[in-house]
Structure formats: C-alpha cells, structure tokens
Chain A
Amino acid sequence: MDRGCHPEGVGAVSPTPPIDSSLRLEYVADFEYSYAAGEFASRFMNALRTQARIQGTRCEACSKVLVPPRPVCGLCLERTAEWVDVGPGGVITGYTVVEVPFIDPMTGIKRPIPYGFAFVRLDGADTNIYHFLEESRHDKISIGMRITAVFKPAPERDGTLADIIHFRAEEPAADD
C-alpha cells in the first residue's frame, strides 16, 4: 500500500499492537486547609456559640443589614459600621427538598433524605442565609412561611453554623 498517496497517512506507522486508550489514572489528594476566620466571621461564630445570637453588620450608607456579617457593603462600597442582632425568627424566601443524597461536609456521611433546605430572611436582616429545615414535606413548606432557628444546647455548640440545627415553623402545622 502506498501511504504517500494519502495526505493523512504521511508519517503514519502501523498501529500495532492495538492501544487500549481507555486507561484512567487515579489521583487522590488530601487538601487540608486551616482558614483564618478573621474579625467578622470570628465575631459571628463566637456570638452563635456563646450566646445563641445571630448577628449581622449594618451599612451606614444604605442601612441594610448584611448576614453573614462582612466588612464592606458591596453595592454601596462603604465599610459596615454597626453590629446588630437578627432573628432568630424569619421567613422562607426560597426552598428546595433534597432528594438525592450527597456527602455532608460536616460529618463525612450522607445526610438522610429527604430534607428541606431554605433561603431564610432573618428578622432585621436584608440578606438571606441558607440552612436546613426541620420539615421535609413539600406541602408543609411555603415561601413567606415564618420559621425560627433551633440551636444546639450550649455545651454542644462549637462556633460553626451547625450550632443552628435547623429552622422550624414558628407555629406547628395544623394537622401535627
């Protein structure tokens, strides 16, 4: 066979032996980090742990309360100045019910499904946090529904957002 006749064949060699091109290469790396929480997250986490209080920072320019607290109001480009308490009550502004399990980063195991997961606008806040809902039945959850934070007992709190176990309805559902 005259390979030279075919441009795509120039320089080609016989493909022997056949190559198994489906080889996959495994790589496992353990990326450990120790994040400095800094002034704002540290104060937020400490208030959760020691007092079961949820705090935000208020922008002086627009008066909005940002939760979690942060040093700068991104829209006004101003430094936040004042610490304020928010919640523990609030309203659901969006929700989903998780039906496919995934690894819970807090425990390393799959969180039992189904479970409710919601955007929560805490009373006094102008931003949402997201957290678990106690309720997982679609017909018992609605946008605008009032809910409140359920904290772990003080000895079990360790200064993370998991110090809030979940949010539950402020009023028990009628048929409960």
Chain B
Amino acid sequence: MGRVAIVGVGQSVHARDRNDVAYAELLLEAIDEALADAGIGLADVDNAVTASLDFYDGRTIANMAVADVVGSYLKPESRICSDGIGALLYGWARIADGAHQVGLVTAHCKESEGNLATIEGAAFDPFVQRRLGADADVVAGLGARQIYASGAFSPTDAAALVVAARAASAVNSKVTTLEPMTIAEVLDAPRLATPLGVFDRAPNRDGSCAMILATEEVARDLSDSPVWIAGVGTATGKYWADRHPADLSALDRARDSAVAMTGWGTDVPDLFEVSAQYAHQLCQFATRLGAQLTEAGRTLNPSGGWHAGNPVTVSGLSRVTECVHQLRGHAGPRQLHDAQRALAHGVAGLGAQSHFVAALEVGD
C-alpha cells in the first residue's frame, strides 16, 4: 500500500449565512485555496471525492451540481453522503491502492437554506417513529440525560468546552468570531431539549473545505514537508435508538484501526481535533480518543472545533485541515509547540452513529 500525503488544504469562511455565494461558488473558494496551497491546478488532479447531503443542498444527486468546480468531468468522481472526513478516507484509499496519483477531496454545506428540523426529521425511520417529529436536538437531549445521569461528565464539563471553543473562534480566521461566554452563561442559557441549552449545540453555519491528496512521489516533489496520512479508520454503530449513548464502540473501532496503521505504539498524539455537534458528546469523544478536556483550545481543538462554527458535513474535514496547519507549523496565533502527530476525528448520523479517525504526522 502506497503512502499518501495531504499537500494542500483550503476552506471558505464559515458563517451563519453565506448569502453572497451559491453553493458551488462556496465550494470553489475552498478548492481555489487548496490548489494554490498545493501549487497545482485543477487539471493536475486525477480524481475527486466529494461530501454533501442532498437534503441540505435541496436537490438530489447534489454532487452533480458541483462537478464543474471540482473538475470531475471525464474523471472518476465519487460522493459520500456523510462527513467530509469520510471522503478523505475514500480519497486516501484511491491513492494508497495505486490507482490514482493526485486527488481532490471536498465537503460543503449550507445549513441556512433549508428547514433544519424537517431535514433532520427525514433521517428517522419512516415506519414507526418518524411521525412523532423528533429532530437531532431531541435525540441529543435524550443522550445527554443518560450521559450526565451516569456521572461520567457534568453539564459544567460540557459548558467549559463551549467556552473554550468560543474563545478559540477569535484566532481562527475561517470562522465567525463568537462572543466570549462564561461557563455560567452557557449553563444559564435557554434550554434546547433538556438538559441541553442552546449553546450546547454547535452554531449553524454555511461553509466548505477542500484538500489535495497525493502519492509519496508527487508529495515530495511538491513539498519539503508533506503531512502524511499515517492511519485511517471508520466504523458505524447501531441505530441511535438501539444504542446507549455511552456505547462508543464505533469510535473505538475507528481509532484502533487508524492507530494500528501508524508506528506510534501507545504514544499520545500531540494534538486532537475532535468533532461533536453537541458539547456532552465532545466530552465523551475527546476523552475516549485520549485527549484531556482541560486542554480544550490548546492540544484539544486548537481551531475551536465544531462549536467555533462549521456546518454539518464539513466539520470533520475542517478538523483535518487544522491538524495540517498545526503539523506544518502554519497555524499562526493558534500554533502549538512542536506538533508532530495528530488525530483528527469526524462523526455522522443521528446520535453520532458513524465515526471516522485520521492519524496524521510530519517527518520522514
């Protein structure tokens, strides 16, 4: 299996409402930045893997609407209806198995354009439960109650992560700067679905992310210090209603697969970029991946994570982007000292059903 590197990353500005651009134009912002970062053109790319969700884009087979901007005419293009980090894993496989040399991976979403409760509601099983009208917040509220009741984490633990994310947004130029907030303010905010408050859910955003992957040969030609994809893993757990929210076996499986491919042994990575749309889940996922919650805003989600403001579908790929910036030493005011190894995590599905992990490193 060939070695695969990330040689270019790009993101649009993620904001509440990107009314200034149609979604193909939104994606183009990220693609242009990733190509410029890699120092190549779209013609140098031999395949594309895109991530998008039809219900958010408001058209079926929505990837066809971005075929021109991802340059996939007469090239192999595949699309996943999941988080963009899943597209990264797919794009990695295409190059690792020797079939392709340079790949474009993208994710885009505009949460501002549809009715989120209706879209989320369409994810429920149509036969028995859907007509009760739940949405992702209700599922998360049920889960948060079980997690807090178990004593594993408290609402204060979760609120501290929200506070850190909002503070980090001020030093992340790709997200909208959020008003700073205290733990008490997060805890006292209006409730969404108890025990969750309105700030426990990551803010709704429009945005895009793009990445260029390459073989070792191409990567060494383009860069003196490529970021290597050292390991990948993904797993899907049981449907949310059949699974206790403390059951993180899918996350475990994804992490173990990714780490087993690396030469890291039991060493702890230098940074973790972890996805969770709800703050109690971030407590769970970050801890299970090996991060310290007290490091939030530093070695845990220096970018601010999903709560600093990314759309669904894009969050996981944004986590990878931050890891690349950190490992290259190009993270500006957020830069960590001597980051060599990173774990990026993504999640998809009601009640966090599917998990994705990418292990990234720099060095020979």
Contacts and interface: CB of A to CB of B under 8 A. Distances in A.
Contact of A39 (B21, B41, B73, B110): B21
A133 B43 CA distance: 39
Interface in B1-41: 18-26, 28, 41
Contacts of B115: 30-32
Given A27-B130, A75-B73, A33 B113 contact: yes
A35 B110 CA distance: 9
B294 to A, nearest CB: 40
Interface stretch (A65-73, A96-104, A165-173): A65-73
Given A29-B118, A33-B114, A35-B113, A73 B68 contact: yes
Contact of B42 (A30, A39, A70, A77): A77
Interface residues of A, number: 22
A56 B28 CA distance: 19
26 contacts: A27-B126, A27-B130, A29-B121, A31-B55, A31-B114, A31-B119, A33-B113, A35-B22, A36-B21, A36-B23, A38-B22, A38-B26, A39-B20, A39-B22, A39-B25, A70-B24, A71-B24, A71-B25, A71-B28, A71-B69, A72-B28, A72-B68, A72-B69, A72-B71, A77-B42, A77-B43
B183 interface: no
A40 B18 CA distance: 15
Contacts of A77: 41-43, 71
A145 interface: no
A37 interface: yes
Contacts of A72: 28, 42, 68-69, 71
B22 A33 contact: no
B24 A38 contact: yes
A41 B115 CA distance: 23
A36 B119 CA distance: 18
Given A29-B121, A31-B55, A77-B43, A36 B113 contact: yes
A122 B127 CA distance: 49
B118 A30 contact: yes
Nearest to B128: A25
Interface string A7-37: 0000000000000000001010111111111
A31 B43 contact: no
Interface majority SS (helix, strand, loop, mixed), chain A = loop
A29 B68 contact: no
B276 to A, nearest CB: 27
B307 to A, nearest CB: 24
A74 interface: yes
Give the 7 A-B CB pairs with smallest separation, nearest first: A38-B22, A74-B68, A77-B42, A33-B58, A38-B25, A74-B73, A38-B21
Contacts of B73: 74-75
B131 interface: yes
A38 B126 CA distance: 35
B303 to A, nearest CB: 25
Interface of A: 25, 27, 29-41, 70-75, 77
A31 B60 CA distance: 13
Contact of B22 (A27, A32, A37): A37
B113 A34 contact: yes
Interface string B90-130: 00000000000000000000101111001101100011001
A128 to B, nearest CB: 16
Contacts of B122: 29
Contacts of A32: 114-115, 118
A38 B24 CA distance: 9
Contacts of B67: 74
B136 to A, nearest CB: 16
Interface centre among B43, B68, B113, B118 (most CB of A within 10 A): B68
A23 B279 CA distance: 41
A29 B122 CA distance: 9
Given A30-B118, A32-B115, A38-B20, 19 more contacts: A27-B130, A29-B121, A29-B122, A31-B55, A35-B22, A35-B58, A36-B18, A36-B20, A36-B21, A38-B21, A38-B23, A38-B26, A40-B25, A70-B24, A71-B24, A71-B25, A74-B67, A77-B41, A77-B43
A40 B28 CA distance: 13
A32 B117 CA distance: 11
Nearest to B122: A29
Contact of A36 (B19, B55, B68): B19
Nearest to A70: B68
A119 B43 CA distance: 30
A35 B25 CA distance: 12
Contacts of A33: 58, 113-114
A27 B131 contact: yes
Contacts of B19: 36
A37 B43 CA distance: 27
A24 to B, nearest CB: 11
Contacts of B20: 36, 38-39
Contacts of A29: 118, 121-122
